[in-house]
Amino acid sequence: MQTRKLGGLDVSALGLGCMGLSHGYGTPTATKEGVELIRAAVERGVTFFDTAEVYGPFTNESLVGEALEPVRDRVVIATKFGFRDANTQAGLDSRPKHIREVAEASLKRLRTDRIDLLYQHRVDPEVPIEEVAGTVGELIAEGKVLHFGLSEAGPDIIRRAHAEHPVTALQSEYSLWWREPEQTVMPVLEELGIGFVPFSPLGRGFLAGGVDETTTFDAKDFRANLPRFSAEARQANRALVDVIEDLARSRGATRAQIALAWLLAQKPWIAPIPGTTKLHRLDENLASLDLTLSAEDLAEIDEAVSAVPVQGARYPEKLQQFVSR
């Protein structure tokens, strides 16, 4: 397994985003099957696993804890704090007292004595980022947390947080259909030596070709509420999938592998965390590590993708308050 360095943290070049096993994409995966998938990832060399208290809520951390307890010393577990009552609808809460409460509860659900990487899930405008960074720094000094991360934070917040306590990694959406981080946060991350963990590297499944304008979403699938996944947007955005399909066919790869290989080629300090509930998709994703894209390949991909404007916002307006501060 290839590895990447996020700040001072060594992880597998591809991690596993565990959210979809319990949350966000319809009926949760049964515990037995979820544990088996996570352990299969470990067997294949994956060492980087991402979860959060809000996924479920709570059930995803418990699943990850059960799956990884026998191999705890071989893996890196990342989790998050930042929402009131572990509910994204209840608003933000990064008060120091709440950070500590969440960390203690997460440690128990994860069946561990330390959290390798603790992210602020979303920036809380009511709590100075210096207080947040200082509190996580205290947890690090106590040995309960090893590294501090941010999620969906903008350049100013990253700089202020890093000045208070070193930030190991930023987690934000980044893929062939969401490239804003290239202009906004990646220059700052490179300057400060902070790693980047792209979530939804396959565009929540769209770039892999499994979703089109005829797809019907489960009532519990949050994509049904995203502007980018309206039927009209899906029909327009299919042109992007077609471009990736052409590139994949010419290289004997799948669309998902092209999308992941492209991400991995951007910077050596990027470690994407694609999620899946299926073993064959896990294997497909990991095979992207064997796909090397040349400078000419990357230039061709950039040119082709840039010619297809993506339709639809990432989030509905009411959720925009939670991103890129």
Task: Give the active site residues.
Answer: 55
Q: Are 142 and 115 in contact (CB under 8 A)?
A: no
Instruction: Report the candidate in 143, 149, 65 with the shortest Cα–Cα distance to residue 108.
Output: 65
Backbone angles phi, psi at 65, to 5 degrees: -60, -45
Amino acid found at 325: R
Q: What residues contact residue 171 under an 8 Å CB cut-off, 6+ apart? A: 50, 78, 119, 149, 150, 151, 152, 196, 197, 198, 199, 273
Q: How far apart are the first and last CA of the chain?
A: 35
CA–CA separation, 289 vs 286, rounded Å? 6
Q: Give the tokens for residue 96.
A: 């120091």
127 forms beta bridges with none
**Measured CA distances, 4 to 79, 151, 193, 206, 299 (Å):** 19, 19, 13, 26, 23
When computed from its CA atoms, the radius of gyration of the chain, rounded to whole angstroms, is: 19
Closest CA to 313 of 232, 240, 226: 226
